[in-house]
Protein backbone atom coordinates (compact mmCIF):
# COMPACT_ATOMS: atom_id res chain seq x y z
CA UNK A 1 0.00 0.00 0.00
CA UNK A 2 1.43 3.41 -1.04
CA UNK A 3 1.56 6.00 1.74
CA UNK A 4 0.44 9.58 1.37
CA UNK A 5 4.07 10.70 1.80
CA UNK A 6 5.20 8.48 -1.06
CA UNK A 7 2.45 9.85 -3.26
CA UNK A 8 3.56 13.40 -2.42
CA UNK A 9 7.15 12.56 -3.34
CA UNK A 10 6.05 11.06 -6.64
CA UNK A 11 3.96 14.16 -7.38
CA UNK A 12 6.79 16.56 -6.49
CA UNK A 13 9.47 14.79 -8.53
CA UNK A 14 8.30 16.03 -11.98
CA UNK A 15 7.89 19.54 -10.58
CA UNK A 16 11.43 19.56 -9.20
CA UNK A 17 12.80 18.31 -12.52
CA UNK A 18 10.95 21.13 -14.27
CA UNK A 19 12.43 23.69 -11.86
CA UNK A 20 9.17 24.22 -9.95
CA UNK A 21 9.39 23.98 -6.21
CA UNK A 22 12.51 22.89 -4.36
CA UNK A 23 14.44 19.72 -5.03
CA UNK A 24 16.18 18.07 -2.08
CA UNK A 25 19.56 19.65 -1.30
CA UNK A 26 22.38 17.14 -1.32
CA UNK A 27 25.16 18.00 1.11
CA UNK A 28 28.63 16.58 0.47
CA UNK A 29 31.78 16.70 2.61
CA UNK A 30 34.54 19.09 1.57
CA UNK A 31 38.32 19.12 1.85
CA UNK A 32 38.02 21.51 4.79
CA UNK A 33 35.62 19.24 6.62
CA UNK A 34 32.72 21.69 6.27
CA UNK A 35 29.60 20.37 4.51
CA UNK A 36 28.83 22.24 1.32
CA UNK A 37 26.34 21.72 -1.47
CA UNK A 38 27.70 20.09 -4.64
CA UNK A 39 28.83 22.53 -7.37
CA UNK A 40 26.08 23.75 -9.65
CA UNK A 41 26.52 24.78 -13.29
CA UNK A 42 26.23 28.49 -14.13
CA UNK A 43 22.62 29.64 -14.30
CA UNK A 44 23.21 30.93 -17.84
CA UNK A 45 25.72 30.11 -20.53
CA UNK A 46 27.94 32.90 -21.85
CA UNK A 47 30.06 32.02 -24.85
CA UNK A 48 32.92 34.39 -23.94
CA UNK A 49 32.82 34.42 -20.14
CA UNK A 50 32.59 30.62 -19.81
CA UNK A 51 36.31 30.39 -20.73
CA UNK A 52 37.61 31.22 -17.27
CA UNK A 53 41.33 31.50 -18.15
CA UNK A 54 40.85 33.31 -21.45
CA UNK A 55 38.67 35.83 -19.62
CA UNK A 56 41.79 37.14 -17.86
CA UNK A 57 43.40 37.97 -21.21
CA UNK A 58 40.50 39.43 -23.13
CA UNK A 59 39.45 41.64 -20.22
CA UNK A 60 43.00 43.06 -20.07
CA UNK A 61 43.06 43.51 -23.85
CA UNK A 62 39.72 45.32 -23.93
CA UNK A 63 40.78 47.64 -21.12
CA UNK A 64 44.06 48.66 -22.71
CA UNK A 65 42.52 49.18 -26.15
CA UNK A 66 39.63 51.26 -24.79
CA UNK A 67 41.68 53.37 -22.39
CA UNK A 68 44.44 54.13 -24.91
CA UNK A 69 42.08 54.89 -27.80
CA UNK A 70 39.93 57.20 -25.66
CA UNK A 71 43.02 58.97 -24.28
CA UNK A 72 44.43 59.57 -27.76
CA UNK A 73 41.08 60.82 -29.05
CA UNK A 74 40.87 63.33 -26.19
CA UNK A 75 44.45 64.57 -26.65
CA UNK A 76 44.34 64.88 -30.45
CA UNK A 77 40.79 66.22 -30.34
CA UNK A 78 41.96 68.90 -27.94
CA UNK A 79 44.84 69.82 -30.21
CA UNK A 80 42.42 70.18 -33.12
CA UNK A 81 40.53 72.89 -31.25
CA UNK A 82 43.60 74.50 -29.75
CA UNK A 83 43.54 72.88 -26.29
CA UNK A 84 46.63 71.12 -25.00
CA UNK A 85 46.17 68.07 -22.78
CA UNK A 86 48.88 66.11 -21.01
CA UNK A 87 48.62 62.54 -22.31
CA UNK A 88 49.74 60.98 -19.02
CA UNK A 89 47.29 62.98 -16.95
CA UNK A 90 44.45 62.21 -19.38
CA UNK A 91 45.45 58.54 -19.27
CA UNK A 92 45.10 58.54 -15.48
CA UNK A 93 41.53 59.85 -15.53
CA UNK A 94 40.53 57.69 -18.50
CA UNK A 95 41.99 54.61 -16.78
CA UNK A 96 39.86 55.25 -13.70
CA UNK A 97 36.72 55.83 -15.79
CA UNK A 98 37.34 52.78 -18.00
CA UNK A 99 37.89 50.53 -15.00
CA UNK A 100 34.65 51.70 -13.38
CA UNK A 101 32.69 51.28 -16.61
CA UNK A 102 33.98 47.75 -17.14
CA UNK A 103 33.19 46.82 -13.54
CA UNK A 104 29.64 48.18 -13.86
CA UNK A 105 29.22 46.48 -17.23
CA UNK A 106 30.17 43.13 -15.67
CA UNK A 107 27.53 43.58 -12.98
CA UNK A 108 24.89 44.61 -15.52
CA UNK A 109 25.79 41.68 -17.75
CA UNK A 110 24.97 39.27 -14.92
CA UNK A 111 22.23 41.25 -13.20
CA UNK A 112 19.76 38.97 -11.46
CA UNK A 113 22.41 36.25 -11.40
CA UNK A 114 25.21 37.95 -9.46
CA UNK A 115 24.97 39.71 -6.11
CA UNK A 116 28.11 41.68 -6.93
CA UNK A 117 31.39 42.68 -5.31
CA UNK A 118 30.66 46.40 -4.92
CA UNK A 119 29.71 46.30 -1.25
CA UNK A 120 32.21 47.52 1.31
CA UNK A 121 33.95 44.94 3.53
CA UNK A 122 35.61 46.03 6.78
CA UNK A 123 36.76 42.45 7.26
CA UNK A 124 38.45 42.63 3.86
CA UNK A 125 40.22 45.85 4.81
CA UNK A 126 41.58 44.19 7.94
CA UNK A 127 42.80 41.26 5.85
CA UNK A 128 44.52 43.67 3.45
CA UNK A 129 46.38 45.62 6.16
CA UNK A 130 49.65 43.65 5.72
CA UNK A 131 50.00 45.47 2.37
CA UNK A 132 50.92 48.55 4.39
CA UNK A 133 54.37 46.97 4.67
CA UNK A 134 55.06 48.20 1.14
CA UNK A 135 53.69 51.65 1.93
CA UNK A 136 55.99 51.92 4.92
CA UNK A 137 59.04 50.86 2.91
CA UNK A 138 58.30 53.38 0.16
CA UNK A 139 57.75 56.20 2.64
CA UNK A 140 61.08 55.73 4.42
CA UNK A 141 62.38 58.52 2.21
CA UNK A 142 60.19 60.97 4.10
CA UNK A 143 62.64 60.66 6.96
CA UNK A 144 65.11 62.54 4.80
CA UNK A 145 62.97 65.31 3.33
CA UNK A 146 59.81 67.36 3.52
CA UNK A 147 60.17 68.54 -0.08
CA UNK A 148 57.56 66.42 -1.88
CA UNK A 149 54.97 66.86 -4.59
CA UNK A 150 51.35 67.65 -3.64
CA UNK A 151 49.62 64.50 -2.40
CA UNK A 152 46.31 64.84 -4.32
CA UNK A 153 47.80 64.59 -7.86
CA UNK A 154 49.84 61.61 -6.70
CA UNK A 155 46.73 59.90 -5.34
CA UNK A 156 44.89 60.46 -8.63
CA UNK A 157 47.86 59.06 -10.54
CA UNK A 158 47.92 56.05 -8.20
CA UNK A 159 44.15 55.47 -8.26
CA UNK A 160 44.28 54.79 -12.00
CA UNK A 161 46.35 51.57 -11.73
CA UNK A 162 45.01 50.88 -8.24
CA UNK A 163 41.43 50.69 -9.48
CA UNK A 164 41.95 49.51 -13.05
CA UNK A 165 44.35 46.70 -12.22
CA UNK A 166 42.13 45.37 -9.46
CA UNK A 167 39.21 45.34 -11.89
CA UNK A 168 40.94 43.65 -14.82
CA UNK A 169 43.21 41.24 -12.94
CA UNK A 170 40.95 40.26 -10.06
CA UNK A 171 37.44 41.69 -9.77
CA UNK A 172 36.12 40.55 -13.15
CA UNK A 173 38.16 37.43 -14.01
CA UNK A 174 38.40 35.97 -10.48
CA UNK A 175 34.68 36.53 -9.88
CA UNK A 176 33.90 34.99 -13.24
CA UNK A 177 36.08 31.98 -12.39
CA UNK A 178 33.94 31.41 -9.29
CA UNK A 179 30.86 31.52 -11.53
CA UNK A 180 32.20 28.80 -13.80
CA UNK A 181 34.01 26.62 -11.23
CA UNK A 182 32.88 27.31 -7.68
CA UNK A 183 34.43 24.50 -5.66
CA UNK A 184 37.28 24.20 -3.19
CA UNK A 185 39.76 22.76 -5.68
CA UNK A 186 39.37 25.76 -7.99
CA UNK A 187 40.31 28.42 -5.43
CA UNK A 188 44.09 28.00 -5.50
CA UNK A 189 44.29 27.79 -9.34
CA UNK A 190 42.12 30.92 -9.53
CA UNK A 191 44.52 32.84 -7.29
CA UNK A 192 47.67 31.52 -9.00
CA UNK A 193 46.46 32.24 -12.53
CA UNK A 194 45.46 35.77 -11.52
CA UNK A 195 48.86 36.39 -9.90
CA UNK A 196 50.77 34.86 -12.83
CA UNK A 197 48.99 37.02 -15.39
CA UNK A 198 49.54 40.06 -13.16
CA UNK A 199 53.25 39.29 -13.02
CA UNK A 200 53.59 38.58 -16.75
CA UNK A 201 51.96 41.88 -17.71
CA UNK A 202 54.47 43.73 -15.54
CA UNK A 203 57.17 42.05 -17.63
CA UNK A 204 56.19 44.46 -20.41
CA UNK A 205 58.48 46.97 -18.70
CA UNK A 206 61.34 45.15 -20.41
CA UNK A 207 59.95 46.25 -23.77
CA UNK A 208 59.77 49.81 -22.45
CA UNK A 209 63.51 49.77 -21.80
CA UNK A 210 63.79 48.57 -18.20
CA UNK A 211 66.80 46.47 -17.22
CA UNK A 212 66.32 42.69 -17.22
CA UNK A 213 67.21 42.36 -13.53
CA UNK A 214 64.75 45.04 -12.43
CA UNK A 215 62.04 43.54 -14.67
CA UNK A 216 62.50 40.08 -13.17
CA UNK A 217 62.31 41.64 -9.71
CA UNK A 218 59.12 43.50 -10.56
CA UNK A 219 57.48 40.42 -12.12
CA UNK A 220 58.24 38.40 -8.98
CA UNK A 221 57.09 41.20 -6.71
CA UNK A 222 53.85 41.58 -8.72
CA UNK A 223 53.20 37.84 -8.53
CA UNK A 224 53.45 37.87 -4.72
CA UNK A 225 51.23 40.93 -4.46
CA UNK A 226 48.78 39.33 -6.91
CA UNK A 227 48.45 36.22 -4.75
CA UNK A 228 47.75 38.37 -1.70
CA UNK A 229 45.19 40.65 -3.35
CA UNK A 230 43.33 37.78 -5.06
CA UNK A 231 43.15 35.89 -1.76
CA UNK A 232 41.77 38.93 0.06
CA UNK A 233 39.11 39.51 -2.61
CA UNK A 234 37.98 35.90 -2.59
CA UNK A 235 37.81 35.82 1.20
CA UNK A 236 35.85 39.08 1.66
CA UNK A 237 33.86 39.16 -1.60
CA UNK A 238 34.54 42.86 -2.19
CA UNK A 239 36.84 44.69 -4.60
CA UNK A 240 37.29 47.86 -2.53
CA UNK A 241 39.75 46.76 0.19
CA UNK A 242 42.31 45.75 -2.43
CA UNK A 243 41.66 48.91 -4.46
CA UNK A 244 42.41 51.01 -1.37
CA UNK A 245 45.64 49.17 -0.54
CA UNK A 246 46.78 48.97 -4.16
CA UNK A 247 46.29 52.72 -4.53
CA UNK A 248 48.23 53.45 -1.33
CA UNK A 249 51.11 51.22 -2.44
CA UNK A 250 51.31 52.90 -5.86
CA UNK A 251 51.02 56.40 -4.39
CA UNK A 252 53.86 55.76 -1.96
CA UNK A 253 55.85 54.17 -4.78
CA UNK A 254 55.40 57.23 -7.01
CA UNK A 255 56.56 59.47 -4.17
CA UNK A 256 59.59 57.25 -3.61
CA UNK A 257 60.53 57.34 -7.32
CA UNK A 258 60.09 61.12 -7.40
CA UNK A 259 62.39 61.55 -4.42
CA UNK A 260 64.95 59.19 -5.96
CA UNK A 261 64.86 61.03 -9.30
CA UNK A 262 65.46 64.35 -7.55
CA UNK A 263 68.34 63.01 -5.46
CA UNK A 264 66.47 63.53 -2.22
CA UNK A 265 66.99 60.01 -0.90
CA UNK A 266 70.32 58.21 -0.72
CA UNK A 267 71.54 55.49 -3.07
CA UNK A 268 71.93 53.21 -0.06
CA UNK A 269 68.21 53.49 0.65
CA UNK A 270 67.19 53.22 -3.00
CA UNK A 271 69.39 50.30 -4.06
CA UNK A 272 70.28 48.62 -0.77
CA UNK A 273 68.00 48.55 2.23
CA UNK A 274 64.85 49.21 0.18
CA UNK A 275 65.53 46.23 -2.08
CA UNK A 276 65.94 43.74 0.76
CA UNK A 277 62.96 45.09 2.67
CA UNK A 278 60.81 44.86 -0.47
CA UNK A 279 61.85 41.24 -1.02
CA UNK A 280 61.02 40.42 2.60
CA UNK A 281 57.64 42.18 2.36
CA UNK A 282 56.81 40.33 -0.88
CA UNK A 283 57.56 36.96 0.74
CA UNK A 284 55.43 37.88 3.76
CA UNK A 285 52.46 38.90 1.61
CA UNK A 286 52.78 35.76 -0.51
CA UNK A 287 52.64 33.59 2.60
CA UNK A 288 49.77 35.60 4.11
CA UNK A 289 47.82 35.28 0.85
CA UNK A 290 48.25 31.51 0.79
CA UNK A 291 47.27 31.37 4.47
CA UNK A 292 44.05 33.28 3.76
CA UNK A 293 42.94 30.56 1.32
CA UNK A 294 44.19 27.61 3.38
CA UNK A 295 42.10 24.41 3.10
CA UNK A 296 40.22 25.04 6.36
CA UNK A 297 38.82 28.31 4.90
CA UNK A 298 37.95 27.12 1.42
CA UNK A 299 34.55 25.74 2.37
CA UNK A 300 33.58 29.17 3.69
CA UNK A 301 34.87 30.83 0.51
CA UNK A 302 32.85 28.46 -1.65
CA UNK A 303 29.67 29.15 0.34
CA UNK A 304 30.18 32.89 -0.01
CA UNK A 305 30.66 32.77 -3.78
CA UNK A 306 27.90 30.27 -4.47
CA UNK A 307 25.57 32.60 -2.60
CA UNK A 308 26.82 35.49 -4.71
CA UNK A 309 26.39 33.72 -8.03
CA UNK A 310 23.35 31.49 -7.71
CA UNK A 311 20.14 32.41 -5.94
CA UNK A 312 19.50 28.72 -5.42
CA UNK A 313 22.88 28.50 -3.67
CA UNK A 314 22.03 31.22 -1.14
CA UNK A 315 19.99 28.70 0.81
CA UNK A 316 22.98 26.34 0.87
CA UNK A 317 25.29 29.10 2.13
CA UNK A 318 22.91 29.84 4.99
CA UNK A 319 22.47 26.19 5.98
Q: What is the reported pLDDT for 35?
A: 55
Tell which residue, 140, 183, 171, 175, has the closest CA to residue 34.
183
* pLDDT per position as a tens digit, 28-58: 455 555 555 555 555 567 778 999 999 999 9
**Mean per-residue pLDDT, 71-84:** 95
**Mean per-residue pLDDT, 183-187:** 96
Does residue 260 register a pLDDT over 70?
Answer: no
Among the residue ranges 9-13, 83-87, 135-139, 254-258, the one predicted with the least confidence is 9-13
Q: What is the reported pLDDT for 22?
A: 40
Does residue 25 register a pLDDT over 70?
Answer: no
Half-sphere exposure of 209 (CA within 13 A, CB side): 0
* pLDDT per position as a tens digit, 262-311: 665 554 445 556 778 888 999 999 999 999 999 999 999 999 999 999 75
Give the pLDDT band of residue 5 (cuts 50, 70, 90).
very low
Q: At what angle do helices 87-109 and 172-180 cross, to 10 degrees?
A: 20
Among the residue ranges 24-28, 39-43, 87-91, 124-128, the one predicted with the least confidence is 24-28
Contact partners, residue 133, CB within 8 Å, separation at least 6:
281, 284, 285
Number of Cβ atoms within 10 Å of the Cβ of 77:
11
State the maximum Cα–Cα separation within the chain, in Å, rounded to a whole number.
Answer: 93
Does residue 14 register a pLDDT over 90?
Answer: no
* pLDDT per position as a tens digit, 225-253: 999 999 999 999 999 999 999 999 999 88
Amino acid sequence: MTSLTDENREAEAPLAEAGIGEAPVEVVPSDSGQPVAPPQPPAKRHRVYDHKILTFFWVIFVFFVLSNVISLVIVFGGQAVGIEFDLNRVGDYVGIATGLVMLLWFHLKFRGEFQGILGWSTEGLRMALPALLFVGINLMGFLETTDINPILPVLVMALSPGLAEEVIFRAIPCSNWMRVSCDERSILPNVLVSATVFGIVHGANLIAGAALSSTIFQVTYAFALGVFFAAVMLRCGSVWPTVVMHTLIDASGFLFMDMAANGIITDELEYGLDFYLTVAAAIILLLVGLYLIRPSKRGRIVKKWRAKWHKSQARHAQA
